[in-house]
Amino acid sequence: MLINCVAYQEGKKLTDVPVVDISEYLKEPETFVWVALRDPNVDEIAVMQDEFSLHELAVEDAARGHQRPKMEEYGASIFMVVHVVELEDDELKIGQLAVFAGPNYVLSVRRDSAQDFLGVRKRAEREPHQLGKGAGFVLYALVDAVVDRYFPIVDMLESELESIEDHIFSQKDAQRANVERLYALKRKALVLRHAVIPLMDAVGRLHGGRVPAVVADTQDYFRDVHDHLFRIAGRLDAVRDTINTAIQVTLSMVAIEENDISKKLAAYAAIFAAFTAFAGVWGMNFEFMPELKWKYGYPFALLTMATVCGYLFRRFRKAGWL
């Protein structure tokens, strides 16, 4: 579906352009065309390929979707794939933004994402001195908008991790639920990391050293985006390490609780073993046994059992087993 198709000249909006006239506007000096598509069908992609003379391999990647974040050069043009990450029903959903950037055009293809980029276009149009830099600045603005939307997700992951850490020590009877939440959080962090790390490598090729001509005047902007991605990656690594530590702490606490239970069971087993031993000896049916004919033999046996069991209980209590 076509979102908009606009021609710009010297950083100012010239006019909305019919799709069939795109190639004519591309011939105009100091003019570039910015087209935005959402979930296009095969025919719409084919029309854009003809109008912009796009490379067939890049078009195939944009049409299929589910590509890894990357940046590829095709002659004087750039093809870039960025993952759009959004939170939906407590799960991270991955969309894709594919951007074709040439000397005088930008074509963005958004798939599987409800997030729009109309604000990016309005922001660019309010800064004609920046928009005058052409396709390189538009590419930067789109990528920067995607990366900025990663920060709230990282904040959410960190807040959820802090909540789980509090529950680890305050709700000792819910350790299984804590481990499940930690693993779910780890999966979310991994999803975001898969979007950030490849994109960081791709953006790193757009500043410093040899860069494509399209972004020659916007290297400083892409350096800033790369710095943002580096910060996000660092925070994700910290979240991942903390999750691993929290899982180990949780499992250790479970082991400690199980050890305490085992101590209690062993202590009571020892107490009842002593009781059983005395009862077994005095319960044997021999004719000649000490205290067998004694009037106080039975109370004496019970008192002896109680004394020994009480002594064992006290010792185990003092040792912290009971």
Say whether pLDDT at 139 is over 70: yes
Residue 250, CB-side half-sphere exposure with 13 Å CA sphere: 24
pLDDT at 279: 67
Say whether pLDDT at 315 is over 80: no
pLDDT at 261: 65
Which 8-state DSSP code applies to residue 19?
G
Cβ atoms of residues 106 and 137 within 8 Å:
no
Q: What is the pLDDT confidence band of residue 66, given thresholds at 50, 70 and 90?
A: confident
pLDDT tens digits along 158-181: 998 888 888 777 666 667 788 888
Say whether pLDDT at 298 is over 70: no
Q: What is the pLDDT confidence band of residue 289, given thresholds at 50, 70 and 90?
A: low
pLDDT at 174: 66
Q: Average pLDDT of the chain? A: 83
Greatest distance between any 2 Cα atoms in the chain: 124
Q: Tell me which of 17-21, 53-57, 59-63, 176-180 is least confident.
A: 176-180
pLDDT at 237: 93
Residue, of 283 and 83, whose pLDDT is higher: 83
pLDDT tens digits along 19-43: 888 888 888 888 889 899 888 888 8
Give kind and range of the element (H or E) at residue 241: helix 219-282
Cβ atoms of residues 309 and 275 within 8 Å:
yes
Domains of the chain and CATH, by start: 2-254 (3.30.460.20), 256-319 (1.20.58.340)
Angstrom CA distances, 147 to 61, 81, 102, 222, 264, stand at: 21, 13, 22, 11, 54
Tell which residue, 39, 53, 33, 56, has the closest CA to residue 1: 39
